[in-house]
Amino acid sequence: MFTFPIPAVRQVIERGMADAAANAGFRNPHYGLAAGKDEQPGLWLVGDQGVYIMSNGKLAEGRGALVIYTEECHPAGEPWWDYKRRHFGADDGIQFLDAEGVLRTINGPAGATHLTVRSAEASITLTAIRR
């Protein structure tokens, strides 16, 4: 399970929308292998050196995406490799999370403070929790 503060999740989605509006759309997380798939408002759950979410709007030259690391798997923190391997897998990867679904989840329960993301072999489960 990976945990992100809800204000940070909102910030990533808003940044992606702003970048898309300024730079003609959304990036494709499939490196061009699935043209037209997931080029929409959302965010990317990325596993490589730690696990993080990042904005997906097209970027102006020289500008980087907004990146927010999960509380459990930040490369500057506690040993993160075993946790990433158990909950995301040993390989690097990107999972697209639709903005509408994420916002529906985090706007649901009153008083929710964090979004949890559980990754299984064939599915991802999003839950809003209060900490």
What pLDDT is attached to residue 91? 86
- Per-residue pLDDT of 53-86, as tens digits, reads 999 999 999 999 999 999 899 988 778 888 898 8
Where do the structural domains in the chain lie, given as residue ranges? 2-129
Residue 105, H or E segment = helix 99-107
Go through 85-110 and write b for each residue having 16 or more CB atoms within 10 A of its CB, e for each that does not: eebbeeeeeebbbebeebeebbeeee
Q: What average pLDDT does the structure give for the chain?
A: 91
pTM: 0.91
User: What CATH fold (topology level) applies to the domain 2-129?
Assistant: DNA Polymerase III; Chain A, domain 2 (3.10.150)
Rounded distance between C-alpha atoms, residue 107 and residue 71, angstroms: 21
Question: Reduced to 3 states, what is the DSSP secondary structure of residue 64?
Answer: coil
The kind and range of the H/E element at 101 are helix 99-107
Amino acid in position 21: A
Q: Which two tokens stand for residue 83?
A: 């946790």
Q: 50 Cβ partners below 8 Å, 6+ apart?
A: 69, 70, 73, 74, 75, 80, 84
Higher pLDDT, 28 or 70: 70
